[in-house]
Every structure is written in structure tokens, then in C-alpha cells.
Structure 1
Amino acid sequence: MRARPPRVREWSSPQLVPEVHGVNAVHGQQQSSVVSRDRSAKPDRLFDKEDEWAALMSFSSDPHPGTSLGVVMGRPRQGKTLLLESVARATDGFYFCGQEATEAESLRRLGEEYARYRQVAQPSYWRNWKEGIDALLALGDTRPLPVIIDSFPDLVAASPALPSVIHGALRHLDRPPLENRARLLLSGETAPVMTRLFAPSSPLHALAALKLDIQPLDFRKAAQLWGIDDPALAFLVYTVVGGTPAYRHDYVNDDVPVDRDDFDAWVCRTILNPCTPLFHEARHLLDEETGPWSHGVCHSVLAALARGCTTHGEIATFLGQQLTDASRALALLRDHGLLQSQADGLQPGITRHRIADPLLAFEHALARPRRAALEQSDAETVWEGARTDFNTLVAGPRFAQVCRDWAACSAGSAAFGAENVTASYGSLSDPSATAGLDAEVVVRRQDGHPTGRLLSVGLARWHTGMDIHHLQRLRRILEGLSSREDVRHVRLALYGASGFSPELHAAHARGDVMLVDVENLYRGA
């Protein structure tokens, strides 16, 4: 079967579409009413996701003959299930959510869901997955129809042959005449499994006409999700919960801090409150993604990262383990999307690691070391003692990452003189100093080479006002680099959330340095 790229179109014509039957048996949703409205419009409860919605609707309703395969993946709590259930409702498609179960139980549940969808009294009891997949794909014999199987890795765990069964069924329907128009969508959040199943070397890879990777919201979109207009408050909330859509409502009971003065109290009544789901979420998230055998070492690796260890050697020393042992845990976390690795911006031979999810960083820097105290004392007292660590270990590093994200994705070519850039942490060894010369934001041109041309070097400070000494530090970094690369046109930048001195404003007016504050990060070009 030739893979067709998804054609994204406008979907605006009102039409009569029956509500999907048995959208999710797990949640007990069984509706069959006919409604008169534009069902192809993205539901209001789906925040953002315009591009994903358009791609899925185009794929699901593609009128061309021939069966198609689509893949949707992403980490937990990013809205995949809500997105796919909404697509099923809008198209009167079939939706089934897998669970950890035996093959026989999964087939039984699937047959019951299939019967509800077709509005027949007798459930279908299939002996194997071939019978079940053939029946599901036959739903597309009369019209383009999405057949959605969510939590696909859970089904594969009990039935390893399932991907081969699907491959065989799709290849069989590829033979002329191409009458079937089923749009099979397979979704899952177990990153290593989904990656393996749809790797370029896998049989299903060549058949996939659509691949969507649902990512967390960036810091700007997260502010919109939470409805926060104050950039400083938006950043503080993002530092705790990141850009995961699910945390906005159910996990905090719609509790949003009123203003910056309410932030401390909000932390105490949400993430430090054992009565809220958010209090337990970070531990559950790690445990469900990495598997029971690796819980301890993965928690320890994240603790090392949260304490400022960023290289293999530093992490191994923190763990008291060999480099190879630390490397295995780092690879596992990276495969699950919990860890991000990047070459040092000034010493590309060094790889630096960081926690990808702000909630996991908050947990391992602040909450996890204080679990006993939270059980014995009130959250306000614990938080008061943790506030300094919050600024140093959590907000400071996250602010630096937000500055890098802004430089790479939002600043625009006017800031650095190039459209495609990378932004990373960089460090230089300075024998005359007690510590190395570090730059939180190193911007390079993205030109296909391992190390693109250096465009900018910057410092980022969340809780410290910046003065002329910070500019002088940047100049020392350029002096250290001048012997190995051209620094004549490198732009110096200071990213600060606590203000800049008059001398820096004067230097900015002369064009000696670029000053970026929180307002620029959230509302600038």
C-alpha cells in the first residue's frame, strides 16, 4: 500500500452526524443521539491542538479508496485520548482503549465494544486478533471511517504478534479493487514500544500515512491554558506543572493562583497537599513509564539532575555507581521522554542532561527530600524552608531553559541574525577562576554541521538582579573563545527576571548587549 501524506483541509460545512456509540467503554460513555451542528469543528475543551485536529480529521475523512494507517504517540497526560475520542465523535468512528490484560480478555472487551458500536445485541467473540482486526477494518467498506485503537502497547504486551496481524490485514486490503476506506489509528504513550513498532526498519513504518507526536505545551501556550496574564506568575506556575494539559483541571480541582502573592499558598494547597492528585503524580508518572525494576535508580538519577549534576560523570559520582550503570538509567529515562540530552554549546565534546518535565524536577529537588516533613508538619512550614531551594534548584534552571526555548523558537531572525538556530548551555574552563565560565544561553546557527556558527552568548538569572559585572563575565567568555572561533559578531545577551542596572540599560542603548526580561519572553517576537 502506498502511504499518502495527510491532506489538511478546512472542515466547516454543517452536517447531520450520528454521535459515536460506545466511544470509551472504560469510561462508560455510550451515546447514540443525532445532533445538528458542525461536528468537524474542534471541540472547545481541546485546548490548542489545531494542527493535530486538522491532520486527524483530514486523515480520518480522506475519501480516496484504499486503507490507511496512522500513528499517534506522546507522553501521558498530554491529551491524546481526549483528542482521539473527539475525532471519533466528530466522524462517527470507532474507538477502543486497550488495557493491561490477557489476549482473551482484550478480545472479549473489543467484541463487546464492537457490538455496542454497531447497535447489535449479541457481542462478537473472536478467537484471535486476525478475526477482530478483519471485522474492525470492514467498518470502512462503505465510507471513510476511523478505527481507533488507543493504548496499543498494552495490547501488544499480551499479544506480540498483533503488529504482524495488522500488517497482514492492511496488505491484504491493498489488493485491487481498493474499495475499503478504513482509517486505522494506533495510539500509545509507551515511547520505547511505539518507537520500536514504527521504526524505519519495522513493517508498519512503510504503511503509516500519518504520524503525530503529541508534545507538552510550551511556556507561552501553558500560560494561555492556565489563563494567566502576568508573565512572572505564568512562569512560576510553569516551573511547577510545566505544559501538561491534564494538570490544569482535574489534578488541582481548577485551582489557579490569583496573583503572585497567592503563588506560595497555591503551591501548599496543590502540589504539597496529599489530598490532591498532583501531590502523587510525579512518582506515579515515573513508576508507570519506566517499570518496577528501575524505580530506585531512576529516582536517584533524577535527584542527581535536580541537584545540578548534568554530565555522565557527575551523575555517576552522585549515585556512587560506575559510568556504565548510570548510562543505562540515563538511556531509559531518555527513551521515555523524561530526560533530554544536548551537546555543550561551548565544548561540544561534553553531553549535558536535564529533566524534561518541570513536575519531575520540582518533585526531585524539593518534594521528595521533604516527604517525611510533609507527613509530620504543615505544608506552609515545609514550603517556607524550601523556598530558597526552589529559587536555586528549580526556578533558576527552568528560567534558563525557558530563555533557551525563547531563543530557539520565539526570538525571530532579528534577535540573532538567523532563522534556524539552536540554543544550549555552554561552559568554559577558566584556570584563573574558582569556577568555570558558564553561559546559560549559547545560540548557534543550525546549518547541518555539528557545531554551527556562534551567534550569541548569554547569561540567565531568575532571582538575581543583573549589573555590569554580568556583562563583564560575558566578555571574558568571548576572550576565552577567541582563540578557537570567530567571535567578532557574537551578540551578548542578558536574560533577567529581577531587573537590570542603569549601566546595563546604557550599554543596551549603545548596542553592547541585548536585555531580555520576562515580558519579552512571554510577549516579545
Structure 2
Amino acid sequence: MRIPKPADMFDRTWEWAQLTNFVSDEQPGASLGIVSGRRRQGKTFLLEAVCEATEGFYYAATEVVSAEESLRQLGEALGRHIGSPGPIRFASWEEAIDGLLALGKVRPTPVVLDEFPYMVRGAPQLPSVLQRALSPRRRERRESRARILLCGSSISFMGNLLTGSAPLRGRASMELIVPTFDFRAAREFWGLDDHRLAALVYLIVGGTPAYKSEFLRGAAPARMEDFDDWVINHVLNPASSLFREVRFLLAEDPTLRDTGLYHTVLAAVAEGNCTRGSIASRIERKATDISHHLTVLADAGLLAVEPDAFRQNRSAYRIIEPLVRFYHSIMRPMFAQLEQVRPGRTERLWQAAQPRFRSAVAGPVFEHMCRTWAHDIASEETLGGLAVRVLSGVVHEPASRTSHEVDLVSMDEAGNLLAIGEATWGDTLGMAHLERMEKISALLKARGREPKAITLFSAAGFMPALRAAAAKSGGQVQLVDLERLYTGE
């Protein structure tokens, strides 16, 4: 049965299809699905919409102090859902889960347990209870078509439910991660026609839908001339919900303890320290002392660990969420000053931060946008094949004992090199940039890895001589400006 997507739901067509296929499955037997993703991405909106469309049961757990209180709240919610004259009292979690399975006796019915980590915090045995309740030959499971959906914003916690020797390993038939919008979807969501303005907004708030719909109530810059005022009034303003959002993101994740050290690690990465050793050196710790913290931040979806395209056993850490990078690069160093609201002070602080914004925020986030374009959008004709991996890397030149950084390295499924590229936010690219990439291409050719194309990305445009050279290259030199980034392939 096809369930129409709600008219007020932007994008999320694929996610909606996965959820509705899962909850409308007519096969006998209860089934389990896992839904996760960072906070503010619209998971609750999706799940509530599914329950509204199918008359399913939705329950959002709260931070309670005891399993008894959690059971009481669940019973009250279930009583309201089925129209019971009074709250339902469960004596145990085993009894509660069987009560939820009973909702699916007549037809396939979604049963959503949102903020599942809160439930497990008060009742650590709950995953094991679910494991037993969903035993393949258990009568209560076989006679139910409940489609149980466990949801949580702690990516590491939710992922661990199905790994290793976890009780629910092998029990789930769906694991859905709700991502942030990419830069193209974000532009459409914010309703921005100007590509440069759309990119600037993305550099700060990324593709998190709640930042527009809930935090800013739709406030967006209408023109380029409005951008600075928008940043000052809605991002750097102590009264704005965005002002302390990054602090709350870490505080709300139950897997992150000692949040001060985690913030320090993120700040070091935002400054350009991308290896474990350089991060440790910046915060004056041993590399072994921060291994756990880096792993936890990566599991939480705040850091990405990207291997070097050309050097084995070397990797770089990058901040995934643009707002986290903006906070640690721009806001955190002057947080106390921003809190002291005085006429004109925030404007002066923002203007003074422009060089740091261009180098520490715009440059890295724009590179990420370009890698996304190369991986998800660029045609095979552009790159010389289908890009399965897009990384960055460093090419060593032994003769001169120098190293050359490559912003984009596109490879196919077999690991063959398709294209190398450079991405810059603020520089107009010219022939010198092409000659640098051609030199790197020659070094790689000597090692048997000649790229098929050179891709040059710039938000500031290209000099006429470079455009002419690209036009004569027969497609071997690809120029990508903001217009092509947003509308072309």
C-alpha cells in the first residue's frame, strides 16, 4: 500500500518511502526498525507523520529517573492512544512490550519509541527484553504485525544496538539514518535563488532543517546585502537559539562526557589541526590520551575520519557540521565579548573575524561541498567515470622534497584515479593553478596513476586565460563555479 507523503514535508522522499514500506508490510510477524541521525534533522517529524498517516502509536520518552516512572508514562500514552478510560499500568517491561505487540494483531501498525536512549538509561535491560519478545517462534511475535521503530539522536548509541554481541543484533529488518540536507537541497529549503548567498548561508548553518523552521522561524537573508545583518541578528545574537546550539549538541548526547575536552578537540580541528598528532600537540595532550575522544566524536557524527588518497595509514579528521566549525572558529574565541551586548559591538567583532571566516570556515566547508558534488552529482563524462570515493591527499615530490596538497581525488570502484582537483572559496583561479595541477598529474603519471581529468572549483570565478585553456582541453580540464555547483553536473 502506497502512503502519500505529507504536503508539508520537504524532500525526504527516499526516507519516507523506506519508512512507509516498512510499516505497511503485510507479512505476519512483528518486525523491528532502527531510525537514527543527528538532532534537528526531522526524525520526529517523519515518525509522527508516519503514525498520523497509519493511525500508529508514537511515544517520545523523557529523561526520567527510574524505570517505574518510564513504565508509567508509557502506559499513560498507550491508554490515551487506544481510548482506555484510564491509564494502563504495566508491572514490567516484558508486559509493556507485549502490550505494544498487541497493537499489531489486526493490521500492520507502526509502534514508535522515540528518544530510545532515554528509555535504556532508566532500564538497561530493555534491549534484552526486546530481543526475547521478538524471538522468531514466540507466539506474541508471530501473531502480531506491529512494526516497532526505535529512534534516537545518539548515532553511536543507536548503531551499537545492532553491532557485535548486542542483544538486538540480527533482529532489525531496517536501519535508517536520516541525514542533513546537502547544499543543493538546503538552498531549495531556505528558498534562496542567489547561489552565492545560498552558499554563504550553508557555510554557517549547513543543511540542518530545524535551524530554519524551528530556531529562526524562517528568517533568512533575502539579498546578499542582508547577509551580514542576518549573521549578526540571528547567529551571533545571544538571544538567538543558534547562539548556544553547539554547546547543547554535545551536552545532549549521552555518550559524550567531559564535554569541555570534546569542545577543545573540536576547536583544535577547526584551527586546521587534522591529524591525531597535531590535535594532541595543540591541546597539549598525548595522542593516546585523545584516541577515545576522537572515536566518540566520529561515532557521534561530529567528526569524519578520511583516509589520505595517496598515503597508506594516514588519515585526516574533519568537522562535519558547518555550525560546529563556525562556532569553534568564530564564536568560541570571542564568546564572552558577544554576550556583552553593546551598540555596534557585534558588527565590529564580525567584521574583524572576516579573515578567519574565509580561511577557517568558508575554505574547508566549500571543499566539502565540492567533494559532495564530485561524489553525488558530477556526471561520468565530467570525471571520466563514476566516482565512488572522493578524498583529499598529499603527493610527495622526492626530487625537490616538497609535498603537494590535492583537495579532491576522485576514484572509481576499483580504486582507479579519475580526477584530481583544487577548490578555493575566495581566489579567482588562473593558469598558475592549472599548471600546479598539471605538475601533480605528471607526478602521478610517473607512478602509473595518471588522472583522466583536472577539476578546478572556485566560488570567485576563473580568469579568461584559464577558461580558454579549459575550452581547448577536450574535457580534460573542468571548471566548476557556483552556478555549475548548484545546477550542473
Same fold by TM-score, threshold 0.5 exceeded? Answer: yes
- Give the Cα separation in 2 of the matches to 1:318 and 1:372: 22
The alpha carbon displacement at 1:433 in A equals 7.3
Q: Is the 8 A contact 2:306 2:317 kept in 1?
A: yes
Structure 2 letter corresponding to 1:146: P
1:383 and 2:333 matched: no
Partner of 1:293: helix, strand, or coil?
A: coil
* Identical-residue share of aligned pairs (%): 41
The alpha carbon displacement at 1:82 in A equals 0.9
Residue in structure 2 matched with residue 418 of structure 1 by the alignment: 385
The alpha carbon displacement at 1:173 in A equals 6.2
Partner of 1:206: helix, strand, or coil?
A: coil
1:504 and 2:466 matched: yes
Deviations 1:461-506 (A, max 9, x none): 111111111111112222333342331x531121111111111011
Indicate how the Cα distance of structure 1 residues 79 and 162 shifts in structure 2: closer, same or farther if over 3 A, else same. same
- Give the Cα separation in 1 of the matches to 2:153 and 2:107: 29
Equivalence map 1:92-491=2 (5 Å): 92-101=55-64, 102-171=66-135, 174-175=138-139, 178-199=142-163, 201-289=165-253, 293-376=257-340, 377=342, 378-430=345-397, 436-447=403-414, 452-487=415-450, 489-491=451-453
Partner of 1:437: helix, strand, or coil?
A: strand
Structure 2 letter corresponding to 1:74: G
Indicate how the Cα distance of structure 1 residues 176 and 392 shifts in structure 2: closer, same or farther if over 3 A, else same. closer
The alpha carbon displacement at 1:212 in A equals 0.7
TM value normalised by structure 2 = 0.95
Structure 2 letter corresponding to 1:417: G
Residue in structure 1 matched with residue 10 of structure 2 by the alignment: 47
Partner of 1:278: helix, strand, or coil?
A: coil
Deviations 1:381-421 (A, max 9, x none): 11111111111110111111111110011002111122243
Deviations 1:195-220 (A, max 9, x none): 12112543423221222111111111
Q: Is the 8 A contact 1:66 1:173 kept in 2?
A: no
- Give the Cα separation in 2 of the matches to 1:271 and 1:173: 54
Partner of 2:36: helix, strand, or coil?
A: strand
Residue in structure 2 matched with residue 493 of structure 1 by the alignment: 455
- Give the Cα separation in 2 of the matches to 1:136 and 1:144: 12
Indicate how the Cα distance of structure 1 residues 466 and 176 shifts in structure 2: closer, same or farther if over 3 A, else same. closer
- Give the Cα separation in 1 of the matches to 2:11 and 2:29: 31
Indicate the RMSD between aligned Cα atoms, in angstroms: 1.9
Unaligned runs of 5+ in 1: 1-8, 12-39
Partner of 2:411: helix, strand, or coil?
A: strand
- Give the Cα separation in 2 of the matches to 1:307 and 1:286: 19
- Give the Cα separation in 2 of the matches to 1:94 and 1:421: 39
The alpha carbon displacement at 1:177 in A equals 9.7
- Give the Cα separation in 1 of the matches to 2:141 and 2:487: 54
State the number of aligned residues. Answer: 483
Structure 1 letter corresponding to 2:464: P
Equivalence map 1:506-521=2 (5 Å): 506-511=468-473, 513-521=477-485
Unaligned runs of 5+ in 2: none
Partner of 2:456: helix, strand, or coil?
A: strand
Partner of 1:308: helix, strand, or coil?
A: coil
Deviations 1:418-441 (A, max 9, x none): 224311111134578797311111
Q: Is the 8 A contact 1:290 1:336 kept in 2?
A: no
- Give the Cα separation in 1 of the matches to 2:321 and 2:141: 48
TM value normalised by structure 1 = 0.88
